[in-house]
Chain A
Amino acid sequence: MSRNMLENDFASDEEDDDFNPAPVEESDNEDAPRGQAGGRGRDNRAQDRGDDDDDEENGAGGDEAGGEDDEEPEDYEDEEDDEDDEDAVSGRPRKRRRKPGVHNFLETEAGVDEDEDEGDEEEEDMEFGAETHPDDADALPDGAEMDDRRHRQLDRQREHEASLDAEKQAQLLKERYGRNRAAAADAVVVPKRLLLPSVDDPSIWGVRCKAGKEREVVFAIQKRIEERPPGSRNPIKIISTFERGGAMSGYIYVEARRQADVMDALQDMSNVYPRTNMILVPVREMPDLLRVQKSEELNPGGWVRIRRTKYQGDLAQIEEVETNGLAVTVRLVPRLDYGLNEDSGAPIIDPKRKRAGANAAVSRPPQRLFSEAEAKKKHSKYLSATSGLGGKSWGYLGETYVEGFLIKDMKVQHLITKNVNPRLEEVTMFARDSENGTSNLDLASLAETLKNSTAEESYLPGDPVEVFKGEQQGLIGRTSSTRGDIVTILVTDGELAGQTIEAPVKTLRKRFREGDHVKVIGGSRYQDELGMVVQVKGDTVTLLSDMSMQEITVFSKDLRLSAETGVDGKLGMFDVHDLVQLDAATVACIVKVDRESLRVLDQNGSIRTILPTQVTSKIAPRRDAVATDRNGAEIRHGDTVKEVYGEQRNGIILHIHRSFLFLHNKAQAENSGIVVVRTTNVVTVSAKGGRSSGPDLTKMNPALMGNGAPGGAMAPPSRNFGRDRLIGKTVMVKKGPFKGLVGIVKDTTDIQARVELHTKNKIVTIPKELLVVKDPITGQTIDMHRGRGGPRIPQGSSAAPPSGWQGGRTPMASADSSRTPAWGGATSSRTPAWGGLGSRTPAWKADGSRTSNPYDGNRTAYGGAGSRTPAWNAGARTPYGGSSGSSDFDAFAAGSRTPAWGAANTGNRTPAWSAGASNSNKGYDAPTPGATYSAPTPGAYGGAPTPGLSAPTPGAWADSAPTPGAYNAPTPGGPSRRPYDAPSPADFDSRPYDAPTPAMGGIAATPGAGPYDGDDGGPRYEEGTPSP
């Protein structure tokens, strides 16, 4: 037993010594002294080599040692199979040999003893034994002979042992096991080239195999060799086999004397294809096969990237490299969502599946340091704390987190070790910030590693540079040309000023002064950022971004002097601070332009990240947009305003959009200083260019004001039809001698109205501004905007408005826009009534809603038909009652005013309508386009429209408004008394304006629609004047 141990010691000893030298040398020198081991020794070596080659990227000596560790015992065990009972691989054949009833104990003892005295001959002895043993075992009965032989051997050995003294014994041992050491010593002397293979040496064939199965094949061959060892009946005659891993995938290499041997060895083996063409490796290239590539040296503290998993592409710092170079411990910034996005109901997806992996990569959480607080929220069951010597660490979901970082053991294969190019901002994540905000990151060393990746194009002619290394250290100049990585510099300072020198890129760095305006040109996520240099420290430059007012630290190589001002960051058509339309109701201001996305601040103050495709349109800046602040003062683009409530933010108006202001505040870092506020919440601090103190002089000049001032609205289309809606309204006088009196408007001009006062039964002329429209029944003031705006609208905002419109355009505009729906409402509310009346065509409806018909209309059945607001009715009706003398009108008026109207109406009208419908006037009563327009004789209409058109006076309209049917119905006598009532075609002929001819309707509708829309849609008013 003790011998056994001794032997093991030796083995490890010799490995240490043996495998430390360079691989090539060692592989060869092992052969030489191990002469007696012959092919077999080499064979095994090569297998080992093959193993090593798998991991050759990490290679190096230590690796080999690791490989040998496992394999080495096999060497001996094959040679001296008795002694080694630990090895599982060769256990089987050995056992078979040993089967004939020898106790383990004895066997071991015997084996050991044999070793010592028999030395080399023992091998042959054993091999012979091994060869004959199975056969003998079969042939002979378990017998005493075998036992006897063993016993005799043992006896002999003991005798021999006793005869040797200790010293000699030691020497023997040394000679026996220490040969490799001796060989190693020899190798130093033996020139390497003598160890190179020659033509006399066995050849190496490259054999195709299934890619990725190389190692399996090698192991299979090894196994086969064990099954059919040399000296057996059908030995495998190859000498060695190995594979070269990733470098030559799909090939294994077999060393043998003859090709047939290779074929034989690989016969019927899976995954290897010896029958395809085998490559005979030229002698010259043989050493290359065994050359271990110098792999990227991994040092703790170095940077690598992760090849796969959700950390794919992430930068990692090497914490520790295991001695075999195969596994490293890396430090990562974790990407965890702490189960927040976990869908508990989701089916469990096999994490190995590709799709899941892809998803993980796409929607992986951002890099953030581990936070136990967050982990506790939802995943406390997965969280465990351990505190060790190095401080507290957390176990979470099977991973270890220390100081917020993920500490992970990874195989080198899963790391990208070349061209890592750590970016500064990535690296800074690893910097453990100290309290004062300064990081303990060694930027200098990082810069050094990055220097290697400095592209020559980062130096352009004209760049100010400084030589910071080498003989020329301290020179300052400007680059004049670059060639490869040699830069020609025109020296600007110092003794050499004016001369040109050449310097390699590596010794240069760009030079910036504080205050320089620079642009980040690449190599970091700050690309294209503009800013001013605030600090220069060696290779790193801190600049203050123009946009975000944040300090950015980048390497000077990533900077360039910039003459650009203002906007940086462009994404196609979008610039920072642009106003964009997101959807019909939302506008937003761009606060940041990333490479593919935009960050916007919308009008509601929320920040979104959107894609450029999500932007409906860009809103062109309107510098002349005007709004009013809380105090009613005019605010424009460029003014400085301040919030009244809340945070009292202030800023310069960047955009005015309806009632929202986008302000820019330089002192604010977030959102690039953009703030969104409502116009009603701000007060003016100062206006641009000192405009604030008092209104614009040009505006104070009444002369300028009067004539529609430049920039004012285009002159509205002149009034060409309809009449002032104020006519017929009940109004109250606000001011003057008639103050407080109520009356009815009988007639109007642009600025004045003739009002028939209730009290005095007298018509007085009063300026329109002094009138307030009242509800005749309730006496309530009718909404000014609606009441006043309303009547004006059909006039196409004609003469009356100017002063009002021009002077206070902004509020009026809002009134206008607010009126729009009201009108729509009014119209639509009326529409069903019209519809109820049934047979009117759209032309009629439009007409009715627009013209003054409705007001006079209570004369007509449909006029009173009720969908009108009380105001309208009142306004329209009252004068009727008062002014019209005819009884039938009275009846109508009465009927229309009272609740009984409905009854009266239906009672009267329905038959009337039907009557109308039944007689020749049907066409007019039901002026469906087809019927109406086609039915009448062309002559009648041809004559009719002209005067009607040319004189669309209220009177004309009033006259034309009534439908014949309506008049016809109640009083058959009516027509005779009032010619215009007459429904006869003759009458129409004579009084064309009576006839609601299609021409009238048609034409009226058209101009009516024009001004109407113009007012309501109000581009004129809305544009410049966002409503407050």
Chain B
Amino acid sequence: MFFLKEETKVISLHPSYFGPNVREYLINRLNEEEEGRCTGDHFVICVMDMVDIGEGRVLPSNGQAEYTIKYRAIIWKPFRGETVDAIVTSVKPTGIFTLAGPLSVFIARKNIPSDIKWEPNTVPPQYTDHADQVIEKGTSLRLKILGVKPDVAAINAIGTIKEDYLGPL
């Protein structure tokens, strides 16, 4: 689910950047460091705007300046039960690896409908029900997130397509 979240970040800047473009530089830095970041709980999708760039405070030890920036960002926090669209990144006998945006979702074989079978002999290998449903690398899938496992700087999820209206799009 997407949220608009206000967060703060401290950026320290080398004195050589001090100048008329400090603000611009800070924005660049913020965008670069924050966008696409995963906290283990959510993904920062996009920095919307900066609410407040604090005053830079020069650190006594090294002369760098510290800016505390408040900004608003669109974040995405995947929830159990959420239905997302994902792209298959690889297909293995054990299941399907997909990418729903930044989130990697694994669909275990147990969570694939039993009529969709592993077909290793095709190129590329695929899961197929020998009808219109073919899941191979690059296929778009609609899946439901079954569980989310937060990690330090990543989120792993498992999903299922063993329900109505789920599966290849």
Contacts and interface: CB of A to CB of B under 8 A. Distances in A.
B33 A689 contact: yes
Contacts of B145: 515
10 contacts: A516-B147, A534-B160, A535-B110, A542-B110, A566-B151, A666-B97, A667-B92, A689-B36, A690-B32, A697-B29
B2 interface: no
Contacts of B37: 689
B14 A515 contact: no
A667 B97 contact: yes
A690 B36 contact: yes
B35 A690 contact: yes
Interface stretch (B46-54, B65-73, B101-109, B121-129): B101-109
B97 A701 contact: no
Given A535-B110, A551-B110, A667-B89, A704 B14 contact: yes
Interface residues of B, number: 38
A549 B94 CA distance: 8
Interface string B118-151: 0000000000000000000000000001111111
Contacts of B83: none
Nearest to A515: B147
Interface in A420-441: 436
B85 to A, nearest CB: 19
Nearest to B14: A704
B106 A701 contact: no
Contacts of B147: 514-517, 532-533
Contacts of B16: 701, 703-704
B57 interface: no
Nearest to A530: B149
Given A546-B156, A551-B95, 13 more contacts: A515-B80, A532-B147, A532-B158, A534-B110, A544-B106, A549-B95, A565-B151, A667-B90, A689-B36, A690-B36, A697-B25, A697-B29, A703-B16
Contacts of A697: 25, 28-29
A913 to B, nearest CB: 59
B3 interface: no
Interface in B51-95: 62, 80, 89-90, 92, 94-95
Interface in A709-727: 710
Contacts of A710: 62
B86 to A, nearest CB: 14
Contacts of A542: 108, 110
B152 to A, nearest CB: 7
Nearest to B37: A689
Interface in A623-644: none
A698 interface: yes
Interface residues of A, number: 28
Interface string B13-37: 0101100000001001100110111
B111 interface: yes
Contacts of A698: 14
A669 interface: yes
A667 B104 CA distance: 10
A760 to B, nearest CB: 43
A517 B147 CA distance: 8
Contacts of A689: 33, 36-37
A271 interface: no
Most buried by B among A534, A542, A689: A534
Nearest to B96: A667
Most buried by A among B29, B37, B97, B158: B158
A527 interface: no
A550 interface: yes
A137 to B, nearest CB: 87
Contacts of B33: 689-690
A701 B152 contact: no
Contacts of B104: 666
A551 B151 contact: no
Contact of A515 (B92, B94, B158): B158
A464 to B, nearest CB: 15
A546 B62 CA distance: 43
A340 B11 CA distance: 66
Contact of A565 (B28, B146, B149): B149
Interface in A500-545: 514-517, 532-535, 542, 544
Nearest to A438: B114
Contacts of B89: 667
Contact of B158 (A534, A550, A690): A534
A542 B95 CA distance: 13
Most buried by B among A436, A690, A703, A704: A690
Nearest to A566: B151
Contacts of A532: 146-147, 149, 158
B90 A517 contact: no
A35 B129 CA distance: 80
Given A534-B146, A701-B14, A669 B158 contact: no
B108 A544 contact: yes
Contacts of B32: 690
A704 B109 CA distance: 53
A655 B122 CA distance: 35
A669 B110 contact: no
Contacts of A514: 111, 146-147, 160
A566 B110 contact: no
A799 to B, nearest CB: 23
B88 to A, nearest CB: 11
A698 B64 CA distance: 12
B108 to A, nearest CB: 4
A587 B155 CA distance: 29
A669 B36 CA distance: 27
A215 B57 CA distance: 97
Nearest to B40: A565
Given A549-B94, A551-B94, A701 B17 contact: yes
Contacts of B62: 710
Interface in A544-566: 544, 546, 549-551, 565-566
Interface string A828-847: 00000000000000000000
A669 B149 CA distance: 18
A516 B156 CA distance: 12
Contacts of B14: 698, 701, 703-704
Interface in A599-620: none
Contacts of B146: 514-515, 532, 534
A532 B104 CA distance: 14
B151 A515 contact: no
A698 B110 CA distance: 49
Contacts of A690: 32-33, 35-36
A310 B88 CA distance: 48
A759 to B, nearest CB: 44
A551 B110 CA distance: 9
Nearest to A694: B32
B78 to A, nearest CB: 11
B92 A535 contact: no
Contacts of B97: 666-667
B115 to A, nearest CB: 11
Contact of B111 (A534, A546, A703): A534
A838 B113 CA distance: 86
Nearest to B17: A701
Nearest to B150: A565
Interface string A922-962: 00000000000000000000000000000000000000000
A4 B117 CA distance: 71
Contacts of A516: 147
A551 B158 contact: no
Contacts of B36: 689-690
A517 B108 CA distance: 15
Contacts of A703: 14, 16
Contacts of A550: 94
A668 to B, nearest CB: 8
Contacts of B152: 565-566
A670 to B, nearest CB: 10
Contact of B92 (A436, A546, A669): A669
